[in-house]
Amino acid sequence: MNQAAPSSTIASNPLLEDWSARPFGTPPFERIEAAQFQPAFETALAEHLAEIAAITANRQEPDFANTIEALERAGRALGRVSDVFHALAGANTDDAIEEIERDISPKLAAHFSRIYLDTTLFGRVDALYRRRAALDLTPEQARVLERYHVAFRRAGAHLSEAARSRLAAISERLATLGTSFSQNIIADERDYTLVLEGEADLAGLPDFARAAARNAAEERGMPGKAVITLSRSSVEPFLQFSSRRDLREKVFRAFIARGDEGGASDNKAIIAEIVKLRAERAKLLGYESFAQFRLDDSMSKTPRAVRGLLDQVWTRARASALADRDALQKLAQDEGGNFPLAPWDWRYYADKLRKRMHDLDEASVKPYLQLDKVIEAAFDTAHRLFGLSFERREGIATWHPDVRVFEVKGPDGRHAGLFFGDYFARPSKHSGAWMTTLRDQEKLTGDVRPLVINVMNFNKADGPDLLSYDDARTLFHEFGHGLHALLSDVTYPMVSGTNVLTDWVELPSQLYEHWFERPEVLRRFALHYKTGEPMPEEMLKRLLKARNFNQGWATVEYVASALMDLEFHSLASADNLDVTAFEKQEMARIGMPDEIVMRHRPPHFGHVFSGGGYAAAYYSYMWSEVLDADAFRAFEETGDIFDPATARKLRDHVYSAGGSRDPETLYIAFRGRLPTPDALLARRGLADLAPAGEA
């Protein structure tokens, strides 16, 4: 993104121009400047309100075209400006973008509250919904009407004026708090570096980890140095390989303390206010808690159903993790470690234990997982399943030079969309991995093809970029989300691509991970970066056999976070909430092992507190894993993981359907029935571990 000239010197704002003449209708990133966003937002917001006013002023009887389709057509300029802005705010932010984000977030919340709390507009939607059976709608149209009706009611459009006013104020304040929470995390991550001084500090680190540390220092203006940052892709390898226990502790404590250091970037007061406001919002809408409100519009339906699944998995995972803890403690003692195992020791000794049990460690596997080859594997899998092809395209403007652009074509050779891959960590990027879009697929205004983004935070090296096994699986995961958008085949934007219920949205992504873990894929693409030779068959067998190694620990750190999210949002009242005390109380209640820490402690739990996306819904990954484990069995049962008939059903009823039908209906159309947790427990190696009290 060019930051050169202020918008006042620019006669035409590129954010508001017609992009149709540009390659594939892509945004003009080469001309976009931070100062252009404020006037672009102002213009787009006003335009959207004018479009909404035209709908409410229409004196004709409400019908699907003049109300629902009109709502679907409205706000296109605002959508374009917002999509570009949020892509930058996540993947290439700076002080100017963050200042705009703080200003625009509450304004956008107020804007959409004004629309979804408009009683006249809701009256039109409600009138249509009440006589929906007589409207002769297609199944997709019926679903779109239903989702609009749900959206207005969940916003509170049916409530009194006083309640609507308070709900609008809550939404605006939550937007401000969520932005502050997110910016505090990235501030803590940017401010921290551990400089590794000489060979003693580098002890135990393999060459690829040292190269990543040197590159991280270069990016931060410290050439010739080596640093560890608070990016997960920097922290986790250090904890895994460094033989310096004192430095592991230092990095670990800094990593889990993000947002919890006191001072300007501390998030605990923000969390307390967010939880309190969400509880108040739920009560205004007639629910006992925010969790009940949130889950009422999900596959799971109730907190009880979510807790039932999480508890069932928790008891087995905890038993597995405790057994692993004892094995790790013995290993540490055998090596002369006269100390109780601590959280910063787990990855280090787990890697050693895996080497002892399976003759396998990360350092031996990683040379076979080249970033370019893993991307190629993801593309090839999509080709074999769905007939898609991918061609690298140059000359398309992006937000950073590292971003790669691919044109996607369907089985018929026709253009199907663009895929943007932004793979490397940098100080201007939020941590984590995600998928988003610059444009969604739809047919309402023509054959609109999507612009899909995957963002990752892999370490960038001087030579070949090598991935850990988990990194490679993450790439497949996010690409699964990308396919959900690329394969979307619906008419209405409301139900396009990933615009689905939260506990359904992770199915396409988590399901796609299964193909990465198959020997049919690894044999072709797990090639040594120096020799080009495939991974030795014996190593491949050991790798797949060890897939469930340490799953107790991985499941515990995830489920603990999901339970913490659920308990925060099950509070009927959150006055005077002490976030630290609540965290300690809940961890003690579930019996969290002292040697394991939640994957996301509350002060940096961005899924839940940076916005409302996964609030009371972090369980969704586990809920979707019940689906994806069973769904992949459909392929295994045919004896062909690329079985054409099964792939066609998967495409039609999962990847292409978006939110055009109820998720249960879609899953049954694909599989013939709903799943049970059995396949999930088997996949994680927990099926044979009975909970305490069971035979």
Q: Which residues are catalytic?
A: 478
The conformational region for residue 661 under phi > 0 = left, psi -120 to 50 = alpha, else beta, is beta
Classify each residue of 612-638 as buried b or exposed e, where b means 16 or more C-beta atoms within 10 Å of its C-beta. Answer: bebbbbbbbbbbbbbbbbbbbbbbeee
Matching residue, tokens 């609507």 = 164
Size of the chain in residues: 695
Which residues lie below 8 Å from residue 422, measured CB to CB, with a gap of 6+?
Answer: 91, 398, 399, 400, 402, 403, 404, 429, 453, 454, 455, 456
- Report yes or no: 306 and 296 within 8 Å, Cβ to Cβ: no
The Cα–Cα gap between 407 and 405 comes to: 7
**β-pair partners for 300:** none
Residue 239, token pair as written in the block: 């904890």
| 451-458 and 415-424 beta bridge pairing | parallel
Residues 6+ apart with CB under 8 A from 275: 290, 568, 569, 571, 574, 577
Q: Please, which residues bridge with residue 435 across strands?
A: 454
- What distance lies between CA 233 and its chain's CA centroid? 16
Strand locations in 226-317 (E) = 227-228
**Could you tell me if 281 and 573 are in contact, meaning their C-beta atoms sit under 8 angstroms apart?**
no
* Sequence-distant (≥ 6) Cβ neighbours of residue 283 within 8 angstroms: 572
